[in-house]
Amino acid sequence: SPPSEWQVPSISPHAKPYFAFPFQEAEIVKDKQLRMNPCLLFEDDLFAVVYKPAGWTCGMSRMDGGTLSQIDPQNLPTEEDRDQFLQDLTFRSESACIKTWICLFMGYDEASEAVRDPQAEFGLCHRLDVGTSGPMLIGKTTESYEYAKQQIRDRDVVKDYLALVHGRLPKPRGVCNDPIDRSRYDESRKVRVHSSGQPACTIWEVVAEYESTDAHRSPYTLVHLRLITGRTHQIRVHMAHMGHPLMSDWQYVDDREMLRRDDLLCKRIFLHKFRLSFMDMEGFPVNVSSPLRMDPVLWSTLENMRLVGGMALSGCA
């Protein structure tokens, strides 16, 4: 059975509106540009929080635009060449690697040794799927990187997401504690809910209910999710297991017709990390938000649907 601390919390006011205007305006993608540029949401001497748009991978293979295949992190290019490298990443037909961007954007500061170190993942403390947007925590020094990684291992980092899922949830909020097995991931690139898996906990609450404006009037629900654990594809497989797969999730939606209708509404999986909170090395909390408007594709998807229910209808979100 799950630990007692994995229980559903009582409802309380939200720390940040989901639909707020962002601190930094979303970038307009230029002609032939295949992805938005990342941007800096927070920075001090030890940590940074970078917004990762969809289309950027955390992998390191050559096809991912991995740093080691593009540049020498210990012998960085001139600033003029760096700008060209950064621009080229947004036009790559393959996915681009966020670690390349981190190294080129922050690696020129001598004190930020972790962002030049492949063994320290170039300072990247956690991962997001290539199709997921949202803030990512960077440890700029070896000490701050290890400090942040320990917080993640201790489950002290707050990770809040928004997802648009199929159907209507049976109650306003709940928790999914089903274990997740990734033993077949290397073969299928999918995980599954199975008793042989690792413990996993996702807390969720309904934010808004929508329906498509076509003749089908397909129901969708915008859900706020908080990850207590950090398993591979945790939100995606938990929601699919509950019978509410994410919009445009081609890996976990088996209905081809459903996927076709999703694609008409949104060309990417509707999953966005909108809040990251951690403790700095002096013990002070740092809260960084990335409202849904940061992703123009997801925001326009909601604008083109009909809001029919949930707390957003009464202005609480």
Catalytic site positions: 129
Q: Which of 269, 301, 237 is nearest to 134 (CA)?
A: 269
| Whole-number Å distance between alpha carbons of 315 and 302 | 15
**Chain mean position to CA 315:** 25
How far lies 141's CA from each of 48, 60, 110, 156, 161, in Å?
10, 20, 10, 20, 27
Let me know the angle formed at the C-alpha of 130 by 198 and 136, rounded to the nearest 5 degrees: 80
| Whole-number Å distance between alpha carbons of 191 and 183 | 7
**Chain mean position to CA 175:** 20
Burial of 209 (C-beta count, 10 Å sphere; 0-12/13-18/19+): buried
Across the chain, how many H-helices and E-strands are there? 8, 14
What one-character-per-residue DSSP string does 238-279 give?
A: HHHHTT-PBTT-TTT---HHHHHHHHHH-SS--EEEEEEEEE
